[in-house]
Amino acid sequence: MMQTPEYAHNMEIELKARIQRRDEVESRLSSFMHYIGPIDKLDEYWEVSNASSENSSGFRFRVRHELDRITITFKEKTFDGNVEVNHEFEFRIEGEPAFKAFIEKMHAHLIYQKQKKGSGWEDGTGLIAEVVEVSSLGLFLEVEYISNSLATSEQQEAKSRLYKVIDLCDIPRSALEPRPYSQLLGY
């Protein structure tokens, strides 16, 4: 699995598709990617209001609970059709109660939670695939490419690689879901 430093500042390009048959997609992934293990992620999305900002929603961040770690992430999102391009900042924390006390002092409030369970796959070059069931939304194949920085030409190559995974899994382009999970969940 791709190692991330204590603090990561990455570019992430991703897309997702709704799927019907988990076993078929996982079988296809196993023919060209390496299985990295089960996925169980509980994401909490928090917001700190910013009265002076033109953005009415304020600053949002994610607290991700995984089996062996807690990671804080915030993103600057852009969209290119079905593909999401994120400038992502993340770091791990050790003391969640202290962190929760800290964000409560900033008057942060929990917006929603999202649970994802499934399986993870990688190809060893920054390309990661996850077959996940997202609570109340169903089954998805998520494919992402992560890099420290991506020039425009690298972004185009990464997008091509994402679409190739979708094609190799025999998923029709009509199954691609361009909306972020937050929108699908109504937030």
Tell me, what's the pLDDT at 51?
60
- What's this model's pTM, rounded to 2 decimal places? 0.85
Structural contact between residues 81 and 159, judged by C-beta atoms closer than 8 angstroms: no
**In terms of Cα–Cα distance, which of 162, 173, 187 is closest to 84?**
162
Structural contact between residues 39 and 121, judged by C-beta atoms closer than 8 angstroms: no
Tell me, what's the pLDDT at 84?
85
- Gap between the Cα atoms of 57 and 49, Å rounded: 7
Kindly state the tokens that stand for 71. 């990671």
Tell me, what's the pLDDT at 54?
61
| Dihedral angle computed from the Cα positions of residues 111, 145, 68 and 133, in that order, rounded to the nearest 10 degrees | 60
Give the gyration radius of the chain's Cα atoms: 17
Tell me, what's the pLDDT at 152?
72
Structural contact between residues 72 and 99, judged by C-beta atoms closer than 8 angstroms: yes
Half-sphere exposure of 65 (CA within 13 A, CB side): 9
**In terms of Cα–Cα distance, which of 98, 174, 161, 156 is closest to 127?**
161
| Tens of pLDDT, residue by residue, the chain (187 residues) | 444 445 556 888 999 999 999 999 999 999 999 999 999 999 999 999 876 656 567 899 999 999 889 999 998 888 888 888 888 899 999 988 999 999 999 999 999 999 999 999 999 988 999 999 999 999 999 999 988 776 777 888 999 999 999 999 999 999 999 999 999 999 8
Distance of CA 41 to the CA centre of its chain: 10
Structural contact between residues 128 and 119, judged by C-beta atoms closer than 8 angstroms: no
Tell me, what's the pLDDT at 8?
58
Q: φ and ψ at 138, to 5 degrees?
A: 110, -160
Structural contact between residues 51 and 45, judged by C-beta atoms closer than 8 angstroms: no
SS3 track for 51-78: CCCCCCCCEEEEEEECCCCEEEEEEEEE
DSSP 137: T
- Gap between the Cα atoms of 139 and 117, Å rounded: 10
